[in-house]
Amino acid sequence: MGLRPVPPHCDRSLMKHLETRLIHTRRDRLGRVTVNPPVERASTVLFDTEDALYGPKPTYGRMGLTVHRELEAAMCELEGATYTRLAANGLQACTLAIASCVRAGDHLLFPDSSYGPTARFCERRLPAMGVKTDRYDPRIGAGIADLIQENTKAIFLESPGSLTFEVSDTPAIVEVAKARGIRTIMDNTWGAGLHHQPLALGVDLSAQALTKYPAGHSDAFGGAVMTRDNAMAGRLEALAEDWGISLAPDDAYLCVRGLRTLKTRLKAHEAAGLAISEWLESRPEVAEVLNPALPSHPDHAIWQRDFSGSNGLFGIVLNPVPEGGLERFFEAMHLFSMGFSWGGFESLIIPCDHQLTRMQGSWTETRSGPLLRIHIGLEAVDDLVADLTAGLKAMTGS
């Protein structure tokens, strides 16, 4: 299992900052002369002896080779972990993390604001495996104690929540869970490891979709689960091997390459996302901007306490829209495209009402108009503002 590797001759005092460690992690230890790791497209690994064939090193390509080891090491640095298990995508990482904590007869709690496919796994697949699940209000905090049952074994978190961007009081939930011996898991894709470190807050497992900001160019898939707990590392390892979970070497390479520039890109996404969020707050067509980095966000204080930054992904709730207004809005824009996923260099915007499956009495029943999710890419802010202006004018017919 992958304990955090440190090049033997590297002086850690020269790598005080995370962005430095992400660039220099592991390369010198491998003794190669190329900047980037080799991509070994291999199923079969050859050995000279029977002992080596059945030895502890990776004996089959599915277990990962050089580029996978480098990505694991970089993810350990990013999340402050001692072990990383790679997966083919973010959903697989989340389901691997969840399934490693529960078995038939157990109970799991997950937030009402979870990523839709994760919620689907919890409500469709886990019951088929004999695991009972219940949703909870993502703002419940220490009140989650009232939902814990005798057989509750894990609590899943996603902060901010998918589409609606509620920020959970993670330390309060972790305190309740630890007092009862319950495992905690967080989908940390929005925080990307750079702006949020759940393991430092006491969470047992942190999962990410590397597809988003770590890869950063909308051309690769990947997932990862990180932990500091040796027992959980063993359970992740065993379950991933039993389920045959792996990451393709070319995707692993693109994720490694993306991590080297993560901080530079994320700072640009953050600055542009905040600028456009503030501009949208001033627009009469917009009822609410769902960005935790804004002082107007109801969870801003928790976000300031637990996060070190934001990014380009947030939501907006529009005021009531005239008939046909949304269609005119999307048709009038040229820089913003409709498309799933996010984290790349291009700006995206999607309507979200079709995706929402929330508990009765949740905020979705009281909002004023359509919910949109926006990802701000790396284009010039002025150009994006002009594009949104054209869309909003077309929407209202002004």
- 3-state secondary structure (DSSP) of residue 50: helix
Distance CA 8, CA 127 (A): 47
Token pair of 199 as six digits: 């393991």
**Buried b vs exposed e over 93-106: b needs ≥16 C-beta within 10 Å?**
bbbbbbbbbbeeeb
Token pair of 320 as six digits: 């009531």
Name the catalytic one among 26, 69, 83, 115.
115
115 assigned to active site: yes
Structural contact between residues 60 and 45, judged by C-beta atoms closer than 8 angstroms: yes
Structural contact between residues 185 and 154, judged by C-beta atoms closer than 8 angstroms: yes
Q: ω before 292 within 30° of 0 (cis)?
A: no
60 assigned to active site: no
Name the catalytic one among 106, 112, 187, 251.
187
Which H or E element spans position 348?
strand 348-351
CA 126 vs CA 108, 131, 201, 254: distances in Å: 9, 5, 27, 32
Distance CA 280, CA 269 (A): 16
- Neighbouring residues of 87: CB distance < 8 A, sequence distance ≥ 6: 93, 96, 222, 223, 224, 225, 240, 245, 246, 247
153 assigned to active site: no
Distance CA 269, CA 376 (A): 6
Distance CA 102, CA 130 (A): 10
Name the catalytic one among 4, 27, 62, 393.
62
Distance CA 42, CA 228 (A): 30
Strands (DSSP E) along 188-341, which ranges?
A: 205-209, 223-227, 286-290, 313-318
212 assigned to active site: yes
Name the catalytic one among 26, 85, 212, 235.
212
Max Cα–Cα distance, the chain, nearest Å = 77
Q: What residues act catalytically?
A: 62, 115, 187, 212
